[in-house]
Amino acid sequence: MAYVPVGFENKYPLELHFTDRGAGEPLILIHGYPFSGAAWECQERELIAAGYRVITYDRRGFGESSKPSVGYDYDTLASDLGKIIQKLELKNVTLIGHSMGTGEIARYISLYGTANINRAVMVSPILPFLLKTEDNQTGVDQDVFDSFKEAILKDRFAFMTTFLKSFYHNGMLTHGWVSEEKLRADFNLGVSSGAAAFLKCVDAWVEDFRADVVKIDVPLLIIQGDADKILPIESTGRVLAKIVGTLIEIPGGSHGIPWTHAGEVNRAIIEFLGPAAVSKRMTSNVEYRPDLN
């Protein structure tokens, strides 16, 4: 297994687990909450087949990475991403994030610039500012996040079950387009995260990225389902696209479009990456699914 050191808690080292597969221009895939780099399996195989070097890593607190009690703010998470780039000596990187992973992209670019970054893709973004305030009326009330933390503190395993029902909206579940086996795998992966990470990341969701997104000076693609129940598109993707980037909306798409609409997501990413990638054979046969609201 491959690991990158990112610091210490007390005297013990903290390490991030990563995978590095394929060859060609490097792509870093940054997962959402509360999963790991394994959540990108549908994208990884297509991007490798398209001729890219695909790097995934597990955020601190998740997957096979160290699970410290601290470091779940985006400045630290962006620094962790930077250590991956530095360790692997990457140039001309495309950053691809899902959900919480889009925050790392924005904060990394804001803090460290784009000298090593070619372009970025944000899937189901958390940007630009999720919290409802006087100057952000499209946001989500603080009470919602407080209730999440209360539920996690009471029983994070029960919270995980409820969370997945929103992650894949009810139509997907009712029609059987997300299998019980997939839900069970996601549950097991999610609850394997560190308890501190599972709770403290909720506070990171309400960080204000408006000052970060205006610093994005590389091509940006935004992909989001219009039935996203975790990060509503009217609070996130549509607002973000008015500031920077190009938005592709997936009708009926849940928050979990990297799985439920893998074909559409993969095609959009590969077309965005450029003609050399488009010329490669894609293996996915996932078709468009109608709105299930």
User: DSSP states of 209-275 as a string?
Assistant: -HHHHTT--S-EEEEEETT-SSS-TTTTHHHHHHHSSEEEEETT--TTHHHHTHHHHHHHHHHHH-H
Confidence of residue 87 (pLDDT cuts 50, 70, 90): very high
pLDDT the model gives residue 59: 98
| Residue 32: pLDDT over 70 | yes
pLDDT the model gives residue 288: 32
Is 99 assigned a catalytic role?
yes
Confidence of residue 284 (pLDDT cuts 50, 70, 90): very low
Question: Which residue segments constitute the domains of the chain, with CATH numbers given?
Answer: 2-278 (3.40.50.1820)
Distance in angstroms (rounded) separating the CA atoms of residues 276 and 243: 29
Q: Which of 99, 110, 124, 193 is catalytic?
A: 99
pLDDT the model gives residue 174: 60
CA–centroid distance for 71 within its chain = 18
Across 134-161, average pLDDT: 95
pLDDT the model gives residue 211: 98
Give the chain's mean pLDDT. Answer: 92
Confidence of residue 257 (pLDDT cuts 50, 70, 90): very high
CA-to-CA dists, residue 236 to 4, 101, 194, 224, 233, angstroms: 31, 14, 27, 9, 5
Give me the residues paired with residue 222 across strands.
122, 247
Q: Which amino acid is at 9?
A: E
Place of tokens 């005297």: 11
Q: What is the pLDDT of residues 178-204, one digit of tens each?
A: 899 999 999 999 999 999 999 999 999
CA–centroid distance for 5 within its chain = 22
Across 42-65, average pLDDT: 97
Is 255 assigned a catalytic role?
yes
pLDDT the model gives residue 280: 44
Across 35-54, average pLDDT: 97
Peptide bond into 232 cis (omega under 30): no
Give me the residues paired with residue 129 across strands.
208
Q: Which of 58, 186, 212, 228 is catalytic?
A: 228
- Number of neighbouring beta carbons within 10 Å of residue 227: 21
Is 228 assigned a catalytic role?
yes
Pairing of strands 117-123, 26-30: unpaired
Q: Which of 17, 98, 169, 255 is catalytic?
A: 255
Distance in angstroms (rounded) separating the CA atoms of residues 29 and 20: 11
